[in-house]
Amino acid sequence: MSQSEALLRATEAEGATQGETSGSSLTALRLGGEGRSRKRGPSSRVFESILISIAVLYAAGLLIAPLVAIVWGSLAEGINAFASQVTSADALSSFKLTLIMAAGATLINTVFGLCIAWVLVRDKFWGRRIINGLVDMPFAVSPVIAGFMLILLFGRTGWLTHITEALGIKVVFALPGILLATIFISLPFVIREVAPVLSQVNPDQESAAHTMGASPLQTFWHVTLPAIRWGLLYGVSLTFARAVGEIGAVLVVSGGVSRLTETSTLFIFRSLDDRNYVGANAMSVVLAAMSFLILIVIEFFKKRTEEH
Protein backbone atom coordinates (compact mmCIF):
# COMPACT_ATOMS: atom_id res chain seq x y z
CA MET A 1 0.00 0.00 0.00
CA SER A 2 1.39 3.41 -0.94
CA GLN A 3 1.69 6.28 1.50
CA SER A 4 -1.02 8.33 -0.33
CA GLU A 5 -3.54 5.46 -0.14
CA ALA A 6 -2.86 5.07 3.58
CA LEU A 7 -3.44 8.76 4.17
CA LEU A 8 -6.70 8.63 2.15
CA ARG A 9 -8.06 5.69 4.16
CA ALA A 10 -7.11 7.36 7.43
CA THR A 11 -8.92 10.51 6.38
CA GLU A 12 -12.07 8.52 5.43
CA ALA A 13 -12.04 6.69 8.73
CA GLU A 14 -11.67 9.94 10.66
CA GLY A 15 -14.58 11.49 8.69
CA ALA A 16 -16.79 8.49 9.38
CA THR A 17 -15.95 8.67 13.06
CA GLN A 18 -16.76 12.39 13.17
CA GLY A 19 -20.02 11.79 11.30
CA GLU A 20 -21.06 9.13 13.79
CA THR A 21 -20.09 11.40 16.64
CA SER A 22 -22.08 14.32 15.17
CA GLY A 23 -25.07 12.10 14.51
CA SER A 24 -24.93 10.78 18.05
CA SER A 25 -24.65 14.31 19.40
CA LEU A 26 -27.64 15.51 17.36
CA THR A 27 -29.66 12.50 18.46
CA ALA A 28 -28.73 13.13 22.08
CA LEU A 29 -29.64 16.80 21.77
CA ARG A 30 -32.94 15.91 20.13
CA LEU A 31 -33.78 13.33 22.75
CA GLY A 32 -32.71 15.72 25.48
CA GLY A 33 -34.91 18.46 24.03
CA GLU A 34 -37.85 16.08 23.77
CA GLY A 35 -37.25 14.99 27.30
CA ARG A 36 -37.18 18.57 28.53
CA SER A 37 -40.33 19.31 26.50
CA ARG A 38 -42.06 16.36 28.08
CA LYS A 39 -40.90 17.46 31.48
CA ARG A 40 -42.09 21.06 30.92
CA GLY A 41 -45.26 20.06 29.11
CA PRO A 42 -47.79 20.06 32.00
CA SER A 43 -46.50 23.25 33.58
CA SER A 44 -46.40 25.00 30.20
CA ARG A 45 -49.99 23.98 29.49
CA VAL A 46 -51.07 25.25 32.90
CA PHE A 47 -49.29 28.54 32.32
CA GLU A 48 -50.90 28.91 28.88
CA SER A 49 -54.31 28.13 30.35
CA ILE A 50 -53.81 30.83 32.99
CA LEU A 51 -52.83 33.40 30.34
CA ILE A 52 -55.83 32.48 28.19
CA SER A 53 -58.15 32.76 31.17
CA ILE A 54 -56.75 36.19 32.07
CA ALA A 55 -57.17 37.37 28.47
CA VAL A 56 -60.75 36.09 28.29
CA LEU A 57 -61.68 37.66 31.64
CA TYR A 58 -60.07 40.95 30.61
CA ALA A 59 -61.98 41.03 27.33
CA ALA A 60 -65.20 40.02 29.05
CA GLY A 61 -64.80 42.71 31.68
CA LEU A 62 -64.08 45.49 29.22
CA LEU A 63 -66.28 44.50 26.27
CA ILE A 64 -68.94 41.92 27.05
CA ALA A 65 -69.98 43.17 30.48
CA PRO A 66 -70.73 46.78 29.33
CA LEU A 67 -72.58 45.43 26.31
CA VAL A 68 -74.73 43.18 28.46
CA ALA A 69 -75.33 46.10 30.84
CA ILE A 70 -76.62 48.47 28.15
CA VAL A 71 -78.81 45.77 26.59
CA TRP A 72 -80.23 44.96 30.03
CA GLY A 73 -80.79 48.65 30.77
CA SER A 74 -82.51 49.26 27.43
CA LEU A 75 -84.96 46.45 28.12
CA ALA A 76 -85.49 47.29 31.80
CA GLU A 77 -88.98 48.61 31.12
CA GLY A 78 -89.87 46.16 28.35
CA ILE A 79 -89.50 45.96 24.60
CA ASN A 80 -92.25 48.54 24.04
CA ALA A 81 -90.34 51.17 26.01
CA PHE A 82 -87.20 50.33 24.02
CA ALA A 83 -89.02 50.74 20.71
CA SER A 84 -90.66 53.94 21.89
CA GLN A 85 -87.31 55.49 22.79
CA VAL A 86 -85.43 54.60 19.59
CA THR A 87 -88.35 55.71 17.38
CA SER A 88 -89.02 58.98 19.17
CA ALA A 89 -88.67 62.20 17.20
CA ASP A 90 -85.58 63.27 19.13
CA ALA A 91 -83.84 59.92 18.68
CA LEU A 92 -84.59 59.67 14.96
CA SER A 93 -83.48 63.26 14.38
CA SER A 94 -80.20 62.70 16.24
CA PHE A 95 -79.55 59.43 14.42
CA LYS A 96 -80.21 61.05 11.05
CA LEU A 97 -77.85 63.92 11.85
CA THR A 98 -75.16 61.44 12.97
CA LEU A 99 -75.33 59.55 9.68
CA ILE A 100 -75.27 62.76 7.62
CA MET A 101 -72.27 64.18 9.48
CA ALA A 102 -70.41 60.87 9.40
CA ALA A 103 -71.07 60.39 5.68
CA GLY A 104 -70.05 63.97 4.88
CA ALA A 105 -66.85 63.77 6.90
CA THR A 106 -66.00 60.39 5.38
CA LEU A 107 -66.50 61.66 1.84
CA ILE A 108 -64.39 64.79 2.38
CA ASN A 109 -61.62 62.92 4.20
CA THR A 110 -61.55 60.26 1.50
CA VAL A 111 -61.01 62.79 -1.30
CA PHE A 112 -58.47 64.95 0.52
CA GLY A 113 -56.90 61.95 2.24
CA LEU A 114 -56.10 60.41 -1.14
CA CYS A 115 -54.54 63.68 -2.28
CA ILE A 116 -52.43 64.05 0.86
CA ALA A 117 -51.32 60.41 0.78
CA TRP A 118 -50.33 60.80 -2.88
CA VAL A 119 -48.27 63.91 -2.16
CA LEU A 120 -46.54 62.39 0.87
CA VAL A 121 -45.61 59.20 -1.00
CA ARG A 122 -44.80 60.40 -4.51
CA ASP A 123 -43.36 63.88 -3.98
CA LYS A 124 -40.21 64.99 -2.18
CA PHE A 125 -40.28 68.61 -0.99
CA TRP A 126 -39.24 70.83 1.89
CA GLY A 127 -41.66 70.56 4.80
CA ARG A 128 -42.81 67.06 3.91
CA ARG A 129 -41.96 65.74 7.38
CA ILE A 130 -43.85 68.62 8.98
CA ILE A 131 -47.00 67.82 7.00
CA ASN A 132 -46.56 64.13 7.76
CA GLY A 133 -46.45 64.95 11.47
CA LEU A 134 -49.44 67.30 11.32
CA VAL A 135 -51.54 64.49 9.86
CA ASP A 136 -51.35 62.69 13.22
CA MET A 137 -52.40 65.74 15.23
CA PRO A 138 -55.99 64.48 15.78
CA PHE A 139 -54.47 61.45 17.55
CA ALA A 140 -52.55 63.68 19.96
CA VAL A 141 -55.03 66.52 20.52
CA SER A 142 -58.07 65.93 22.72
CA PRO A 143 -61.39 66.22 20.81
CA VAL A 144 -62.56 68.74 23.41
CA ILE A 145 -59.54 70.93 22.65
CA ALA A 146 -60.28 70.55 18.93
CA GLY A 147 -63.79 71.86 19.53
CA PHE A 148 -62.42 74.74 21.59
CA MET A 149 -60.04 75.64 18.73
CA LEU A 150 -63.01 75.85 16.38
CA ILE A 151 -64.70 78.25 18.80
CA LEU A 152 -61.55 80.40 18.85
CA LEU A 153 -61.62 80.51 15.05
CA PHE A 154 -65.34 80.85 14.36
CA GLY A 155 -66.87 81.98 17.65
CA ARG A 156 -68.42 85.37 18.37
CA THR A 157 -65.00 87.05 18.53
CA GLY A 158 -63.13 84.43 16.50
CA TRP A 159 -60.29 85.13 14.13
CA LEU A 160 -62.30 84.09 11.07
CA THR A 161 -65.75 85.18 12.23
CA HIS A 162 -65.81 88.32 10.07
CA ILE A 163 -65.26 86.17 6.97
CA THR A 164 -68.06 83.73 7.79
CA GLU A 165 -70.40 86.58 8.71
CA ALA A 166 -69.68 88.29 5.39
CA LEU A 167 -70.57 85.03 3.65
CA GLY A 168 -73.67 84.58 5.77
CA ILE A 169 -72.46 81.28 7.22
CA LYS A 170 -72.83 80.36 10.87
CA VAL A 171 -70.24 77.78 11.93
CA VAL A 172 -70.23 77.41 15.71
CA PHE A 173 -73.41 75.96 17.26
CA ALA A 174 -74.58 74.98 13.77
CA LEU A 175 -74.17 72.09 11.34
CA PRO A 176 -70.97 73.43 9.68
CA GLY A 177 -69.23 73.41 13.04
CA ILE A 178 -70.27 69.80 13.69
CA LEU A 179 -69.02 68.80 10.25
CA LEU A 180 -65.67 70.56 10.72
CA ALA A 181 -65.18 68.92 14.12
CA THR A 182 -66.01 65.49 12.71
CA ILE A 183 -63.67 66.01 9.76
CA PHE A 184 -60.81 66.98 12.07
CA ILE A 185 -61.05 64.03 14.43
CA SER A 186 -61.35 61.48 11.58
CA LEU A 187 -58.73 63.01 9.26
CA PRO A 188 -55.75 60.62 9.59
CA PHE A 189 -57.33 57.25 8.86
CA VAL A 190 -57.55 57.29 5.05
CA ILE A 191 -54.08 58.85 4.79
CA ARG A 192 -52.44 56.34 7.11
CA GLU A 193 -54.07 53.33 5.44
CA VAL A 194 -53.54 54.41 1.82
CA ALA A 195 -49.95 55.71 2.07
CA PRO A 196 -48.26 52.34 2.87
CA VAL A 197 -50.21 50.58 0.11
CA LEU A 198 -49.50 53.35 -2.39
CA SER A 199 -45.79 53.18 -1.63
CA GLN A 200 -45.81 49.56 -2.84
CA VAL A 201 -47.31 50.46 -6.23
CA ASN A 202 -44.67 50.59 -8.96
CA PRO A 203 -44.71 54.03 -10.66
CA ASP A 204 -43.52 52.36 -13.87
CA GLN A 205 -47.05 51.03 -14.42
CA GLU A 206 -48.44 54.56 -14.30
CA SER A 207 -45.66 55.80 -16.61
CA ALA A 208 -46.51 53.03 -19.07
CA ALA A 209 -50.16 54.08 -19.01
CA HIS A 210 -49.15 57.70 -19.72
CA THR A 211 -46.95 56.50 -22.59
CA MET A 212 -49.91 54.64 -24.11
CA GLY A 213 -51.92 57.88 -24.13
CA ALA A 214 -53.96 57.55 -20.92
CA SER A 215 -54.94 60.75 -19.15
CA PRO A 216 -54.00 61.27 -15.47
CA LEU A 217 -57.58 60.50 -14.45
CA GLN A 218 -57.68 57.33 -16.56
CA THR A 219 -54.33 56.24 -15.14
CA PHE A 220 -55.54 56.73 -11.59
CA TRP A 221 -58.87 54.99 -12.21
CA HIS A 222 -57.54 51.96 -14.10
CA VAL A 223 -54.01 51.52 -12.69
CA THR A 224 -53.57 53.16 -9.28
CA LEU A 225 -57.01 52.75 -7.72
CA PRO A 226 -57.28 48.97 -8.26
CA ALA A 227 -53.91 48.57 -6.52
CA ILE A 228 -54.89 50.57 -3.43
CA ARG A 229 -58.62 49.82 -3.27
CA TRP A 230 -58.55 47.53 -0.21
CA GLY A 231 -56.39 49.91 1.81
CA LEU A 232 -58.66 52.77 0.78
CA LEU A 233 -61.82 50.91 1.79
CA TYR A 234 -60.24 49.98 5.11
CA GLY A 235 -59.41 53.63 5.77
CA VAL A 236 -62.92 54.71 4.77
CA SER A 237 -64.44 52.20 7.20
CA LEU A 238 -62.25 53.43 10.05
CA THR A 239 -63.12 57.05 9.22
CA PHE A 240 -66.86 56.38 9.27
CA ALA A 241 -66.63 54.40 12.52
CA ARG A 242 -64.68 57.19 14.21
CA ALA A 243 -67.10 59.84 12.97
CA VAL A 244 -70.17 57.98 14.23
CA GLY A 245 -68.84 57.70 17.77
CA GLU A 246 -67.50 61.24 18.20
CA ILE A 247 -68.79 63.26 21.15
CA GLY A 248 -66.06 65.49 22.64
CA ALA A 249 -65.52 68.01 19.84
CA VAL A 250 -69.16 67.86 18.76
CA LEU A 251 -70.33 68.55 22.31
CA VAL A 252 -68.27 71.76 22.42
CA VAL A 253 -69.21 73.23 19.03
CA SER A 254 -72.79 72.02 18.50
CA GLY A 255 -74.70 73.40 21.47
CA GLY A 256 -76.69 70.16 21.63
CA VAL A 257 -80.01 71.67 20.56
CA SER A 258 -82.57 68.87 20.31
CA ARG A 259 -83.70 68.10 16.72
CA LEU A 260 -81.26 70.71 15.35
CA THR A 261 -77.66 70.09 16.41
CA GLU A 262 -77.98 67.00 18.58
CA THR A 263 -76.22 63.85 17.35
CA SER A 264 -76.80 60.34 18.68
CA THR A 265 -73.94 60.56 21.16
CA LEU A 266 -75.28 63.88 22.43
CA PHE A 267 -78.74 62.30 22.69
CA ILE A 268 -77.24 59.68 24.99
CA PHE A 269 -75.47 62.38 27.02
CA ARG A 270 -78.68 64.41 27.41
CA SER A 271 -80.75 61.32 28.26
CA LEU A 272 -78.40 60.43 31.07
CA ASP A 273 -78.52 64.01 32.32
CA ASP A 274 -82.35 63.85 32.25
CA ARG A 275 -82.32 60.46 34.02
CA ASN A 276 -83.85 58.84 30.95
CA TYR A 277 -81.74 55.71 31.33
CA VAL A 278 -83.84 53.56 29.02
CA GLY A 279 -83.45 56.09 26.20
CA ALA A 280 -79.70 56.37 26.75
CA ASN A 281 -79.24 52.61 26.81
CA ALA A 282 -81.52 52.09 23.83
CA MET A 283 -79.57 54.52 21.64
CA SER A 284 -76.33 52.95 22.90
CA VAL A 285 -77.56 49.54 21.72
CA VAL A 286 -78.34 50.97 18.28
CA LEU A 287 -74.88 52.56 17.99
CA ALA A 288 -73.24 49.39 19.31
CA ALA A 289 -75.02 47.31 16.67
CA MET A 290 -73.86 49.76 13.99
CA SER A 291 -70.32 49.63 15.36
CA PHE A 292 -70.40 45.84 15.25
CA LEU A 293 -71.41 45.89 11.59
CA ILE A 294 -68.69 48.42 10.83
CA LEU A 295 -66.20 46.20 12.67
CA ILE A 296 -67.12 43.26 10.45
CA VAL A 297 -66.58 45.42 7.35
CA ILE A 298 -63.25 46.70 8.71
CA GLU A 299 -61.97 43.19 9.41
CA PHE A 300 -63.00 42.08 5.92
CA PHE A 301 -61.14 44.97 4.27
CA LYS A 302 -58.16 44.46 6.59
CA LYS A 303 -57.91 40.83 5.57
CA ARG A 304 -58.11 41.71 1.88
CA THR A 305 -55.48 44.43 2.35
CA GLU A 306 -53.07 41.96 3.97
CA GLU A 307 -53.68 39.44 1.20
CA HIS A 308 -52.87 42.00 -1.48
Q: How far apart are CA 294 and CA 134, in angstroms?
A: 27
Is pLDDT of 103 > 70?
yes
> What does the pLDDT read at residue 202?
82
How many C-beta atoms lie closer than 10 Å to residue 278's C-beta?
19
User: What sections of the chain are H helices per DSSP?
Assistant: 3-59, 65-74, 79-86, 89-122, 128-135, 137-140, 143-154, 161-167, 175-185, 188-199, 203-211, 216-219, 225-244, 248-254, 264-273, 277-307
**Averaged over 280-297, what is the pLDDT?**
89
Residue from 150, 114, 141, 117 nearest 131 by CA: 117
Higher-scoring residue by pLDDT: 63, 112: 112
**Residue 297 corresponds to which amino acid?**
V
> What does the pLDDT read at residue 216?
82
Contact 102, 298 (CB under 8 A): no
* pLDDT, tens only, 252-268: 999 888 889 999 999 99
Q: Which helix (H) or strand (E) holds 136?
A: none
Which numeric CATH code is attached to 81-307? 1.10.3720.10
Confidence of residue 56 (pLDDT cuts 50, 70, 90): confident
> What does the pLDDT read at residue 106?
95
Residue from 134, 131, 109, 115 nearest 239 by CA: 109
Confidence of residue 144 (pLDDT cuts 50, 70, 90): very high
State the sign of the Cα–Cα–Cα–Cα dihedral 287, 289, 292, 298: negative
**Averaged over 163-188, what is the pLDDT?**
93
> What does the pLDDT read at residue 193?
92
**Residue 136 corresponds to which amino acid?**
D
> What does the pLDDT read at residue 160?
92
Residue from 103, 94, 133, 148 nearest 268 by CA: 94
The model's pTM is: 0.79
* pLDDT, tens only, 9-55: 544 445 444 444 444 544 544 545 444 444 556 777 888 888 888 98
Domain positions in the chain: 3-39, 81-307
Is pLDDT of 241 > 60?
yes
Higher-scoring residue by pLDDT: 126, 3: 126
Residue from 107, 83, 148 nearest 286 by CA: 83
Is pLDDT of 205 > 90?
no
